[in-house]
Structure 1
Amino acid sequence: MAKQPMLKFVDVKRDMPQKRDAEVRNHDFDEIYAEFAKAKAAEQASRCSQCGVPFCQSHCPLHNNIPDWLLMTAEGRLQEAYEISQATNTFPEICGRICPQDRLCEGNCVIENSGHETVTIGAIEKYITDTAWENGWVKPNLPYAERGDSVGIIGAGPGGLAAADRLRQAGVQVTVYDRYDRAGGLLTYGIPGFKLEKDVVMRRIQQLEAAGVQFVLNCNVGEDLSFQAISGQHDAVLIATGVYKSRDLQAPGVGAQGVVRAIDYLTASNRVGFGDVVPEYESGELNAKGKRVVVIGGGDTAMDCLRTAIRQGATSVKCLYRRDKKNMPGSMREVQNAEEEGVEFVWQTAPNGFIGDPVEAVKVQKMHLGAPDATGRQSPEVIEGADYTEQADLVIMALGFMPEDLPTLWDEGALEVTRWGTIKADFKTHETAIDGVFAVGDIVRGASLVVWAIADGREAADSILSYLNEAASVAAE
């Protein structure tokens, strides 16, 4: 009788890939986690309990078949593991690196809830696909037959790219339009290399190009090319622009030199990583070297800014967040990494203004958490008379993102939006108020996770195919 390869969580303890020491990783933008060795990946995968109702799968936005590819990994059947993983996820190696597994699959692992610590799902997902790339198992999704219809996708971020891959596999002619000079959206210019090395993103884009996806870059829709021109060229359009408008802070001195937006700061840093010449970085405007840095915000974008500033050689890096550690929106794993690297978190504080131009200090209000609201969340309240100043040469605003006013920017009044400015789209089909126009990702959800954008893009691709097939059927009658 064959030996049972799974259910070893009682005897085998949870383990993660080795993390580079903070004193070493603080000086570069390489990823901080090493790769699992084959034996270690199989060992950790064998801890899965193969439960009848896999909560890891049901809490994954893509509903990845996690127990199945863990079993394949434990048995050494890595190519099959990759094929199962790729069947539900367009970019498994990216999700394995940047998904907040502690809040999704791993956070809902049955053995975690029974006191045995979760399976290291994300690290194994990354290992499976990295192994697939090394062995040449990852191939462009070439169609079996070409179709005559075409789809224009506005936005080359994860949602747009996931849809492009699925549509191209079905034989549709796909053109992706993007404002930047490289595809990838926030995967390329928003997320730092120490979380997602850029060659990981670029090889996926090259694969899409090899499959026949056309990219029109440096194309700002509404300026370089009208929305009407795009919709007139294609049989359907998918809007996947993301949200890039930074939330503003209304406070005295907010316009001072040295008070910058997170998206500008991170984009400059990532461009430098590609070898681009970035004048704002060279001048020091978007460079933390030798500066006292204060980052305002508590989400994952704030964590990215904090850890980037450490690597750029800041003399001190502090994070101001108006709630406590338990109530912050960012990943706890990212907070831990930031603390290891030397970031100081100043909990329950909020900016009340800025001193100097260029900025010299932040006026800070101390806060406490008040009574819970109807949702159970406590709102921060100002402690009167407890203000102080925090010295700073560079202040980075990481307060989240809002949608741009696309109906105005694109001169398309028929494009309906919600009261938050996001595009109104059907929850299941992703159709907008305009016939043949669909929308996915953050421009519909508001700022969210990469994995949700991928899920939306795949769903929308299926809806677009149904729309094109129906249109072809009507035309044939």
Structure 2
Amino acid sequence: MAKQRMLQFVSVDKQMPAKREADDRAHDFLEIYGEFAEAKAEEQAGRCSQCGVPYCQSHCPLHNNIPDWLKLTAEGRLEEAYQVSQMTNTFPEICGRICPQDRLCEGNCVIEQSGHGTVTIGAVEKFITDTAWEKGWVQPIKPANERTESVGIIGAGPGGLAAADRLRRAGVQVTVYDRYDRAGGLMTYGIPGFKLEKDIVMRRNEQLEQGGVDFVLNCNIGEDISFDEVRKKHDSVLIATGVYKSRDLQAPGSGAHGIVRAIDYLTASNRKNFGDAVPEYDNGELNAEGRKVVVIGGGDTAMDCVRTAIRQGAKSVKCLYRRDRANMPGSQREVQNAEEEGVVFEWLTAPNGFIGEPVSGVMVQKMRLGAPDASGRQRPEVIEGADYIEEADLVIKALGFEPEELPSLWGVPQLEVTRWGTIKADFRSHETKIPGVYAVGDIVRGASLVVWAIRDGREAADAMINGFDTAATGVAAE
């Protein structure tokens, strides 16, 4: 009788890949989690209950066929597991590393809800695709037929690159324009190496380039080339710029030296780890070494900043967040990792100003949670008379991101935006009101997740291909 491979959650406990000790990992930018051995990946995949309604799949923005590739992994059929995984996800090894699985697939796992501990979906996903690269199962992009249609993609982040991959596999000619000198967007310059080592991203960039994607880097639309020129060069244009305008904090003393934006801080650190010359890092402006660091914010960007400061050798690192731990938007797994590494979280605190030039302290207000606001979250309220000064000589503002004013920056007043400045686009095709111009990812959604950008990019690519086929034949593609 064949061994029962699945439903092992009643006898096999949840186990994550080994995590490096905090004292060890806090001194470098290498990933903190190890890799499953094949036997361990099979064992953990076998814990899946193969439930009839897979909530893990329905709560994944890409609707990955998670139960199927878990079953294949448990049976030792890794190449087939990879094939199923990559059918719905352009970058599964990246999502396996940086997706907040505790809020998505794993957080909605049926056996997690029943108290048995979730299946470690992200770790298995990472293992499958890393193995596929090692074994040579990841095939180069080789379209069966080349097409004459051309698409210009503005932005080389996850949304733009996912679209580029799908378009090239269909034979469409693709050019990607990006303001930075390396493709990848926030995957390259925003997310630190301890969550996503950069050779993982560069490997995908190389695959796209070798597959025929033309990258035009160090290119600012509206300066080096106009939006209208891009439109004239291509049959369709995809806007996938992301959102890079940092939300600011208007408070007394906020203009002091030593108060910096999270995006500048993280970009400098990532560039330094690439081996680039970074004057702002070398002169100490964007370097936490030996300093008392305070990070303001409670999202994943704030978690990236506090953990980066630890690795740079900060004297102390504190995170101020105006709500409590249960109500913070960042990953709880990341909070735990940060605490292990020495970060101190000051919950229910908010800055009210800054002292010193350069900055020497943050004026902090203590908060409590009051009545729910329009979103249903409890609104933070100031506790009068409970203010104090938090010493700091480097303050990092991680308050989130907003869209740049693209219609005015690019001279395209007909590009419709919402009252928040995000681009208006159809939720299915992702086409804007300008014919042949599409938009995906954060520039439409607001600051969101890599996995949502990947989904948008794939959908927009399919819509473009369908449009090209309809124009050529008069019949819409299936």
Q: State the TM-score, normalized to the length of structure 2.
A: 0.99
Aligned-partner SS, 1:294: strand
Instruction: State how far apart, in whole Å, the 2-side matches of 1:259 and 1:155 are.
Output: 28
Give the C-alpha shift of residue 471 in structure 1.
2.5
Instruction: State how far apart, in whole Å, the 2-side matches of 1:401 and 1:374 are.
Output: 21
2:316 is equivalent to residue 316 of structure 1: yes
Alignment of 1:155-304 (within 5 A): 155-304=155-304
2:335 is equivalent to residue 339 of structure 1: no
Deviation per CA, 1:237-280, whole angstroms, max 9, x where unpaired? 00000000000100011111000000000000000010001000
In structure 2, the residue matched to 1:458 is 458
In structure 1, the residue matched to 2:325 is 325
2:154 is equivalent to residue 117 of structure 1: no
Instruction: State how far apart, in whole Å, the 1-side matches of 2:319 and 2:441 are.
Output: 28
In structure 1, the residue matched to 2:137 is 137
Deviation per CA, 1:23-71, whole angstroms, max 9, x where unpaired? 0000000000000001100000000011111110010000000011001
Instruction: State how far apart, in whole Å, the 2-side matches of 1:140 and 1:177 are.
Output: 22
Give the C-alpha shift of residue 375 in structure 1.
3.7
Aligned-partner SS, 1:301: helix
Give the C-alpha shift of residue 132 in structure 1.
0.5
**How large is the RMSD of aligned CA atoms in angstroms?**
0.9
Give the C-alpha shift of residue 236 in structure 1.
0.2
Aligned-partner SS, 1:167: helix
Deviation per CA, 1:391-426, whole angstroms, max 9, x where unpaired? 101000000000000000000001000000000000
Identity of aligned residues (%): 78
Instruction: State how far apart, in whole Å, the 1-side matches of 2:92 and 2:426 are.
Output: 26
In structure 1, the residue matched to 2:14 is 14
Alignment of 1:418-437 (within 5 A): 418-437=418-437
2:55 is equivalent to residue 71 of structure 1: no
Instruction: State how far apart, in whole Å, the 1-side matches of 2:466 and 2:87 are.
Output: 20
Instruction: State how far apart, in whole Å, the 1-side matches of 2:413 and 2:125 are.
Output: 43
Aligned-partner SS, 2:229: helix
Contact 1:436/1:467 (8 A) holds in 2: no
Letter in 2 for 1:463: A
Aligned-partner SS, 1:448: coil
Give the C-alpha shift of residue 473 in structure 1.
3.4
Letter in 1 for 2:413: G
**Does 305-314 or 382-391 show the bigger shift?**
382-391
Deviation per CA, 1:88-112, whole angstroms, max 9, x where unpaired? 0000000000000000000010111
Deviation per CA, 1:2-28, whole angstroms, max 9, x where unpaired? 221100000000000000000000000
Contact 1:139/1:207 (8 A) holds in 2: no
In structure 1, the residue matched to 2:373 is 373
Deviation per CA, 1:180-221, whole angstroms, max 9, x where unpaired? 000000000000000000000000000001110000000010
Instruction: State how far apart, in whole Å, the 1-side matches of 2:415 and 2:104 are.
Output: 33
Contact 1:236/1:436 (8 A) holds in 2: yes
Letter in 1 for 2:319: C
The number of aligned residues is 475
Give the C-alpha shift of residue 474 in structure 1.
5.8
Aligned-partner SS, 1:87: helix
In structure 2, the residue matched to 1:92 is 92
Aligned-partner SS, 1:399: coil
Letter in 1 for 2:8: K
Give the C-alpha shift of residue 472 in structure 1.
2.5
Letter in 2 for 1:7: L
Letter in 1 for 2:438: F
Instruction: State how far apart, in whole Å, the 1-side matches of 2:62 and 2:374 are.
Output: 30
Letter in 2 for 1:83: Q
In structure 1, the residue matched to 2:43 is 43
Deviation per CA, 1:78-136, whole angstroms, max 9, x where unpaired? 00000000110000000000000000000010111111110000000000000001111
Give the C-alpha shift of residue 466 in structure 1.
1.3
Aligned-partner SS, 1:293: strand
Aligned-partner SS, 1:305: helix
Instruction: State how far apart, in whole Å, the 2-side matches of 1:320 and 1:473 are.
Output: 58
Instruction: State how far apart, in whole Å, the 1-side matches of 2:141 and 2:85 are.
Output: 15
Give the C-alpha shift of residue 389 in structure 1.
0.5
Deviation per CA, 1:310-350, whole angstroms, max 9, x where unpaired? 00000000000000000000000000000000000001111
Moved over 6 A (4+): none
Deviation per CA, 1:294-318, whole angstroms, max 9, x where unpaired? 0000000000000000000000000
Instruction: State how far apart, in whole Å, the 1-side matches of 2:286 and 2:6 are.
Output: 50
2:149 is equivalent to residue 149 of structure 1: yes
Instruction: State how far apart, in whole Å, the 1-side matches of 2:98 and 2:82 are.
Output: 18
Letter in 2 for 1:205: N
Structure 2, unmatched stretches of 5+, are none
